[in-house]
């Protein structure tokens, strides 16, 4: 199974493709879609949509997993993040792919074993779990972690019959 994980952001959207073979995972590719601050919001969303479409076309994932929005103290930032997340989800739907959503807590717990893990801990565990020679950049590592989280959930999804095949 090949899963595209997405860590949405308006300035930087991380993406990572992870493939599973039995209980072994390997990183296929990862990267970031960056948008310029001086660009209009519609242009930034278009860049995210186009970038995710290119990743889907090149790496042919079977599923997409996206991190959910975490709202802390800045509603304006959360709204922009929601727009970026929406652009990524629409791109996945446009590609005919099922989209699964996971909270940051779920992702960190699945990868590090602790839901309040810090970014550097996630980066290091992703590197170890995927036997990567070096750490991925933070946003790409987060996206790879989202993909790993989904791959870990597949047996449970099959058991419960919730959209997994």
Catalytic residues: 7, 67, 139
Residues ≥6 apart with Cβ < 8 Å to 16: 4, 5, 27, 29, 30, 31, 136, 140, 141, 143, 144, 145, 146, 147
Strand segments, DSSP code E, in the chain are: 2-7, 12-21, 24-34, 63-67, 98-102
Residues 98-136 as b or e (16 or more Cβ within 10 Å = b) = ebbebebebbbbbbbeeeebeeeebbbbbbebbebeeeb
């Amino acid at each position: 199974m090949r899963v595209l994980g997405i860590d949405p952001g308006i300035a930087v959207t991380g993406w990572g493709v992870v493939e599973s073979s039995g209980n072994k995972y390997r990183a296929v590719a990862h990267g970031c879609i960056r948008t310029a601050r001086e660009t209009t919001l519609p242009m930034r969303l278009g860049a995210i949509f186009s970038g995710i479409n290119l990743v889907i076309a090149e790496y042919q994932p079977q599923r997409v997993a996206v991190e959910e929005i975490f709202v802390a103290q800045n509603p304006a930032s959360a709204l922009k993040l929601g727009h970026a997340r929406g652009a990524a989800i629409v791109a996945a739907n446009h590609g005919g792919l099922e989209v699964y959503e996971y909270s940051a807590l779920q992702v960190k717990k699945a990868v590090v074993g602790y839901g309040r893990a810090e970014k550097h801990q996630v980066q290091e565990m992703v590197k170890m779990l995927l036997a990567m020679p070096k750490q991925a950049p933070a946003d790409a590592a987060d996206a790879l972690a989202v993909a790993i989280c989904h791959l870990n959930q597949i047996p449970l999804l099959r058991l419960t019959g919730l959209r997994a095949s």
